[in-house]
Structure formats: structure tokens, C-alpha cells
Amino acid sequence: MSFINYSSREIILKIVYYGPGLCGKTTNIKFIYAGTNPDARGKLISLETKQERTLFFDFLPLSLPAIRGFKTRLHLYSVPGQLFYSASRKLIMKGADGVIFVADSQRERMEANVISFEDLQENLAAYGYDINTIPFVIQYNKRDLPNAVPVEELRARLNPDGQFPDFESIAAAPNGPGVFDTLKAVVKMILMELKKGGN
Amino acid sequence: MYNAQMVIYEAEYQRLTEICEKLLRDSMARAVFLVDKVGQLITSVGQTANIDTTSLASLVAGATAATGGLANLLGEEEFPSHYHQGARDSIYIALIGEQLILTIIFDNRSTEGLVRLRVKRAEGDLKRVFSDLSQKASAAAETKNNSLFSEITDEDIEELFSDTF
């Protein structure tokens, strides 16, 4: 649900990072925080446990330049990945304009990816969204790890028809390849969808 | 369903802000924030200079969503308000209709009882403005009057990212 404020002349878009536990959702957001001009970013809020598990959500507000005279603000959220935080995940999906699914490329996490993907579809449906119509991008993360499966294998399970834009990434690497590409892709999709009128 | 936008126009923004200003005075609060359930700040009044209002809006919406989840677990539809008491400042959070969250920060010059009473009085006014706003926004959507996005070009989108990352 985009938010347009004619008084402050700003548009706010909510983007949610989804995916199984420890796939790198928070790492994506921390990398974006570190790589963004300090004037363009707000405070990063991370509600996580001591074991780096997101307990409720991460939140990062970003300011992009004005578009047609309206400041564009992105509110990035990540959900807790572990299965038993299902209730929290659902709450955070409310009002999402776009979703990034972060898949863990490690072979032993393949089933976790699939389960999380199904969970995402259920949570989207709970708010009347459809994965085929909401702006949605997949990121195959941890491509540098020795136990990473070939991208084709991940695609076969998560994106068999190739209908979703997908990107390879290493969010934990110093230059975080793929992280900004994924974010830009979903922002473009949201704006194009709004341009169309969202129907 | 996807494109359920929230749109705030100047006139309604002014009316909402005036209601919050009156509430601020009447409840002797430090600050009043009006937030939507998704976590976006609509307006704020009072001593807000030292508060990260964007973070506050997001956390208030998160806390309210979690409180609503607790209510559902107990078979309640909602807990219409929740209150957090601090040593110096306290925070009172009330649901207003389906979409708004009113947040009042106050210190020992006021009390929870006074805040609760004044919130009840402001509630009807806020709902009225929000109802007008919803009608206006849906009328605009029907006539495609709200086509701010229709003029956006691919170049506009590309330029969004050039200086930020």
C-alpha cells in the first residue's frame, strides 16, 4: 500500500525482505545501510536476539531523490526467518508494496527455501495479495559458499517458469554483489505497477 | 487489492494536525503522533525535535500489530489501546478506526487518565476527517485524478538511484 502525502510531497514505499532463517535478509539491509549516502538514510532498527536472529523485524528508511516533485522514501523491512515466528512475519507483510525473497544457496537449505516460499504465498494471500501480481524479486544469496547449488537448481524449485526477476548475490561480501541490483529491481517494478494503476 | 493506496491531501493534513494540536494542549502531553497501521507517520505535533519520528512510527505500528495479535490469541478482536509507563516519559497508544494509530507521549505533568479522556474526545473528530479523506481518495482513484505516477518515465526511475547508493 503506497503512501502519498500531498502535504509533505512524499511517496513512501514499503519493501519486505522474506526468506528462511539465516538466509541473509538482515545482512542485505545492513549492507544497504552501509552503502547508502548518510544523508539519504535513517536509523537502522534491528530487533534481533543475541544470536543474530531477527526477533520481530529490521527497519531501514531510505530517501531517494524527488520524482515529479515528490520525495521518494523507501521503508525496508525484513521478517524473522525462523519457522516459529510465523505470526510476526504475517504482521510485517501488512501493506507491503513489494517483496524480495532471499534464498539461501546452500544445498542443505534448499527445503527451507521451499517451505519459506510457500509460507510467503500463504501470508500474501492472507492480505489479498497474489505473488503473481505484487512486485516480487528473488535473490539467490551466498553464491560464494562451496556448498552452493547451481543457480539452475534453485530456479527449478523457486522460479521454474522464470516469471520472477532473479539475481545472484553475496550480501556478506565487502562489495555485496547483487544486493543493490535486487533492491533497484523491486523499486522499478513497484513504480511501474503504480504507473499502470495497479490493475 | 494491491493498489490500496493511502493518500493524504493538504486540507485533511491540516485538519488532522489541528486536532492533534488541540489534543496536545488539552492532555498536557509532550508530543502527539498520528501514524497509519503500516508504520507511516501522518502528522506529529509538540516536542518532536529530539525524536526519530520515522523510527517511532514504524515501532508503534509494530507494537500495535503485535498487541493485536495477542488480542486475537485471547479471542478478542482488538485491544483498542495500550500504555507503556516509563520513569520519566510514558506513551499511550490508541487505535482510531481501522487504519490510524494515535500516539501520545507525556511526562509527569499529565496522567494516563487525562490522556485517555482527551483521546476519546479527539477520536470522533479524527474519524470524521479520515472518512472524508477516504471518500476523496476513492473519488480521485475512480476518475484517475490521482495519476501522479502516470507521468513517471523510465529515466525518472533510473535517476532515482544515481546519487543515493
List, for residues A81-107, the tens digit of each pLDDT value: 988 888 889 999 999 999 999 999 999
Full residue range of the structural domain in which residue B137 is found: 10-158
Kindly indicate the confidence band of residue B1, based on its pLDDT and cuts at 50, 70 and 90: very low
Per-residue model confidence (pLDDT) at position B4? 65
Residue carrying C-alpha cell 526477533:
A55
Flag whether B119 is in a domain.
yes
The reply to whether A5 touches chain B by the CB within 8 Å rule is yes
Interface ipTM = 0.84
8 Å CB contact between B126 and A179:
no
* CA–CA distance, B89 with B95 (Å, rounded to integer): 20
Residue B3 in any domain: the answer is no
Give the pairing of strands A70-78 and A54-67: antiparallel
Mean pLDDT of A165-183: 96
Of A51-60, A189-198, B16-25, B107-116, the one with minimum mean pLDDT is: A189-198
Q: What is the pLDDT of residues B55-82, one digit of tens each?
A: 999 999 999 999 999 999 999 999 999 9
Name the nearest CA neighbour of B102 among B92, B88, B112, B114: B92
* A148 Rama sector, left if φ>0, alpha if ψ -120 to 50, beta otherwise: beta
The angle at the Cα of A34, spanning A31 to A35, to the nearest 5 degrees, equals 85
Using an 8 Å Cβ cutoff, are A165 and A185 in contact? Answer: yes
Spatial distance between the Cα atoms of B120 and B101, rounded to a whole number of angstroms: 13
Going by their DSSP bridges, the two strands A166-168 and A136-141 should be labelled as parallel
* Percent of all residues in chain B with a pLDDT value above 90, rounded to a whole number: 75
Region for B97 from its dihedrals, namely left if φ exceeds 0, alpha if ψ lies in -120 to 50, beta otherwise? left
Edge-to-edge strand ranges of the sheet holding B81-84: B41-46, B31-36, B100-106, B90-96, B81-84
Does B151 fall in a domain? yes
Tell me how far apart the alpha carbons of residues A161 and A151 are, in angstroms, rounded to a whole number. 14
Beta-carbon separation of A4 and B8 below 8 A = yes
Cβ contacts of B153 on chain A, cutoff 8 Å: none
User: Comparing B141 with B117, which gets the higher pLDDT?
Assistant: B117
Q: What's residue B163's pLDDT?
A: 67
Residue, of A58 and B154, whose pLDDT is higher? A58
pLDDT-based confidence at residue B147 (cuts at 50, 70, 90)? low
Please tell me the total count of domains within chain B.
1
Average pLDDT of the segment spanning B40-58: 95
At B88 the three-state DSSP class reads coil
Residue B165 lies inside a defined structural domain of this protein: no
> Which grid cell sits at A164?
520472477
Could you tell me if residue B48 is inside a domain? yes
pLDDT at B3: 44
Q: Which of A150, A46, A39, A163 is nearest to A101 (CA)?
A: A163
Asked whether residue B130 is domain-assigned, the answer is yes
Chain B residues whose CB is inside 8 A of the A70 CB are 148
Give me the long-range contacts of A42-47 (CB less than 8 A, separation at least 24): A42/B52, A42/B54, A42/B55, A43/B52, A43/B54, A43/B55, A45/B55, A45/B58, A45/B59, A47/B62
Residue A198 above 60 pLDDT? no
What domains are defined for chain A?
3-196 (3.40.50.300)
The answer to whether A75 contacts B58, with C-beta atoms less than 8 Å apart, is: yes
Q: What is the mean pLDDT of residues B17-44?
A: 96
Query: Does the pLDDT of residue B14 top 50, yes or no?
Result: yes
Has residue B88 got a pLDDT over 60? Answer: yes
Share of chain A above pLDDT 90, in %: 78
3-class DSSP state of A174: coil
Query: For strand B6-8 and strand B31-36, is the pairing parallel, antiparallel, or unpaired?
Result: unpaired
Partners of A127 on chain B (C-beta within 8 Å) are 1
- Please, which pLDDT band fits residue A22 given cuts at 50, 70 and 90? very high
State pLDDT tens for residues A130-167: 999 999 999 999 999 999 999 999 999 999 999 999 99
Q: Which of residues 145-184 of A touch B (CB under 8 A)?
A: 180, 184
pLDDT digit string, tens, across residues B98-127: 899 999 999 999 999 999 999 999 999 999
pLDDT above 80 for B142: no
Q: Residue B144: which pLDDT band, with cuts at 50, 70 and 90? A: low
What is the residue-averaged pLDDT of chain B? Answer: 90
The whole-number average pLDDT for the span A109-116 is: 97
pLDDT the model gives residue A38: 93
Quick one: pLDDT at residue B89? 97
Asked whether A46 and A54 are in contact (CB, 8 A), the reply is yes
pLDDT of residue B154: 78
Q: To 10 degrees, what angle do helices A86-93 and B53-73 make?
A: 130
Distances (CA, A) of A106 to A29, A83, A147, A153, B60: 20, 18, 5, 11, 36
CATH of the domain at B16: 3.30.450.30
**Contact status of A79 with chain B (Cβ, < 8 Å):** no
Are A3 and B38 inside 8 Å of each other by CB?
yes
Average pLDDT over residues B136-161: 75
**Residue B115 domain-assigned (yes or no):** yes
CA distance A182 to A165: 9
Query: Using CB atoms and an 8 Å cut-off, which of residues 12-51 of chain B contact chain A?
Result: 13-14, 36-40, 42
